[in-house]
Homo-oligomer: A and B are copies of this chain.
Amino acid sequence: MGVGDISIRSSERPEAGSVNIQLGEFPTSSENNSVDAHKVANEVVSGFSDALSKQDHSAIAELFFNDNSYWRDHLALTWNLRTVKGNAAIKEYLDSSKVRLEKIEVDKSTNYRAPKFGAIDILGDVQGINFFVTFETSIGRGEGVMNLAEHNGQWKIFTLYTLLQELKGHEEPLGHRRTKGVKHGGDPARKTWKEKRDAEKEEIDPIVLILGAGQGGLTVAARLKMLGIPALMIDQNERVGDNWRKRYRQLVLHDPVWYDHLPYVPFPAHWPVFTPKDKLAEFFEAYVTLLELNVWTSTSLKSTSWDESKKQWTVTVERRMPDGTSQTRTLHPRHIVQATGHSGEKNFPKIKGMETFKGERLCHSSEHPGASPESKGKKAVVVGCCNSGHDIAQDFFEKGYDITIVQRSTTCVVSSEAITDIGNKGLYDQDSPPVDDADLTFWSLPSELLKTQQTKVTKIQADHDKKIHDGLRAAGFQIDSGPMDSGLLIKYFQRGGGYYIDVGASQLIIDGKIKVKQGQEIAQILPNGIEFADGEKIEADEIVFATGYQNMRTQARKIFGDEVADRVSDVWGFNDEGEFRTMWQKSGHPGLWFMGGNLALSRYYSRILALQIKAIEEGIM
């Protein structure tokens, strides 16, 4: 990601131009644990419904707590991602909406969804009444979450979250809506499934062209498939999954399986907690097969141009065919989804002396093939102290290298156990609710409140990780606890990087098995090593820059040129409402969308992005 304003210290620095949002404030906890949660929920929602039927927006706003209340709305009332705070702003938001909210109901379909007195901060410090809602607007249907807080014996809405899930008349073909798969009876014009599928794969002139077939591309392609929008992914790699396959040898996902499910085809029950990269790559290939997604691999983009009047792109791509020939194809998509990774192009600094390096290898982490086996006595330096940097340093150690990791600023370090057992507990774990329910709960918390909640989580995690943290400090490794002490997740959301989920390298640092060079910029690369600003020189046979990836907007500039990129807004990090900027929503340039994030973000936001495209294509938006 972009470096941001380096005058701000690393822990607080957000993505360039974005907001280091304030900490939200939870109301006081209710002690009225004998309350009839169902009854209160019914009353509040029925008051909501009454006001809706009269289109009395003031009355609806009055149901909210006070100025410290939130309505987070993902596409239900407008085509923007919004978090609106306080009665007045909520009324104004309702007034401005062109979509009519027609119905809202308490969801009692499962115990998890039904009203209960309990945590309204996920964590359990603040008690109130929590439940899911279902709603219907003039154009669609969705679900959401309502949290009620008590004030002087009165129950008010503290947070409401609404997520549009389907457009009326364009529901996904699931369950009762699945296709029949065959037309019974004699049909002289019959085409078999294979004939249709083969034709679709080769002859498609897609409405949506998706650049990249990683988790971002795959999930949005899957969502579009379910909405009946012809879409095609193109990817420079030879096989789907190569974006993971080609990464460093021993990479295993740092998030657990329960957090990582993709839409429609969940990981089966035997799937390991942490997915090795090559296994994930194979899953991706199976995902394409099972969902009949269209992808051209070994394909690169040759040119793009946007026709403002036709609202259409002209795109030329070159496909290397299995027989070695090349095929140039011109497509006319109405939308391009850039899914080249929210971390797109590698961030590979230009440093004086690089060209003089005489060692075995100097490369970016994305090109690192893995440490060579049996390399006792060889020297390696890894620049960068986030996940990749640590994993690669650990790989070097395991192969017998003398290994130094270069840390220029600070790193937010949380152990994998603390993430799995504390951070994801109850939401994304073996006994957690269905992942779609967990997502609704997770995204129901406005980012300000999430940040506050994460400061508490971060403290509990830090207690758990105290020995590691103390050891790291003693070893000269600098750690931080994220922006305003809100930890790893918010650092990821606000900045896109700057953390390490510890899967073992921290102990190697503590034990001196991985040495640390801290706080110094690199002055120059020497033929046999690195010289730092403080004059110290470290020898190296191999140097790996685990310095992350560039902003998607930088990537867009390379792909589409200045004319397009100049119209695009800044990408990633929060706006002042705590909503992500530009990703998964109108980008500033018509027909251009940004898709990306880890598997969980891709799962959630892929639908949001696909619904917007569907709405445009159906003339609803």
Contacts and interface: CB of A to CB of B under 8 A. Distances in A.
A286 interface: yes
A242 interface: no
Given A289-B286, A398-B190, A400-B188, A181 B268 contact: no
B276 A182 contact: yes
A394 B182 CA distance: 14
A269 B175 CA distance: 5
Given A173-B270, A285-B289, A398 B188 contact: yes
Interface in A11-63: none
Nearest to A194: B278
Given A268-B264, A268-B265, A271-B178, A186 B276 contact: no
A310 interface: no
Contact of A278 (B178, B193, B274, B276): B193
Contacts of A285: 286, 289
Given A186-B398, A193-B279, A194-B278, A272 B504 contact: no
Contacts of A188: 397-400
B175 A430 contact: yes
Contacts of A264: 268-270
Contacts of A279: 181, 193-194, 197
Contacts of A398: 186-188, 190
Contacts of A226: 270
A161 B176 CA distance: 32
B399 A278 contact: no
Interface string A182-206: 1011111010111001000000000
Interface residues on A, range: 35 or more
B181 A252 contact: yes
Nearest to A505: B186
Given A188-B399, A193-B279, A178 B286 contact: no
A388 to B, nearest CB: 15
A176 B505 CA distance: 26
A478 interface: no
Interface string A271-290: 11111101100110110011
A479 to B, nearest CB: 18
Interface string A251-276: 01000010000001100111111111
A173 B430 CA distance: 13
Contacts of A508: 186
A96 interface: no
A503 interface: yes
B278 A504 contact: no
Contacts of A397: 186, 188
Give the residue among A197, A250, A399 with the most B Cβ atoms within 10 A.
Answer: A250
A184 B503 contact: yes
A289 to B, nearest CB: 5
Give the residue among A186, A252, A268, A278 with the most B Cβ atoms within 10 A.
Answer: A186
A571 to B, nearest CB: 31
A49 B185 CA distance: 55
A274 B181 contact: yes
Interface string A568-611: 00000000000000000000000000000000000000000000
A439 interface: no
Given A175-B269, A290-B283, A276 B504 contact: no
Nearest to A245: B194
Nearest to A393: B186
B269 A180 contact: no
Given A286-B290, A289-B285, A504-B186, A269 B178 contact: yes
Contacts of A172: 270
Nearest to A288: B286
Contact of A273 (B174, B181, B282, B289): B181
A320 interface: no
A404 to B, nearest CB: 15
Interface string A389-425: 0000010011110000000000000001000000000
B416 A184 contact: yes
B504 A184 contact: yes
Nearest to A252: B182
Contacts of A265: 268
A92 to B, nearest CB: 39
Given A270-B172, A286-B286, A430-B176, A192 B394 contact: no
A179 interface: yes
Nearest to A287: B286
A507 interface: yes
Given A265-B268, A289-B282, A290-B286, A249 B416 contact: no
18 contacts: A174-B270, A178-B272, A178-B430, A179-B273, A180-B273, A185-B507, A186-B394, A186-B513, A187-B398, A190-B250, A192-B250, A193-B252, A193-B278, A194-B279, A197-B279, A282-B289, A285-B289, A286-B289
Given A185-B507, A188-B400, 14 more contacts: A176-B430, A178-B269, A178-B270, A178-B430, A181-B275, A181-B279, A182-B503, A184-B416, A186-B508, A188-B398, A194-B276, A268-B291, A282-B290, A286-B286
The 6 closest A-B pairs by CB, nearest first: A181-B272, A193-B276, A185-B504, A286-B286, A194-B278, A181-B274
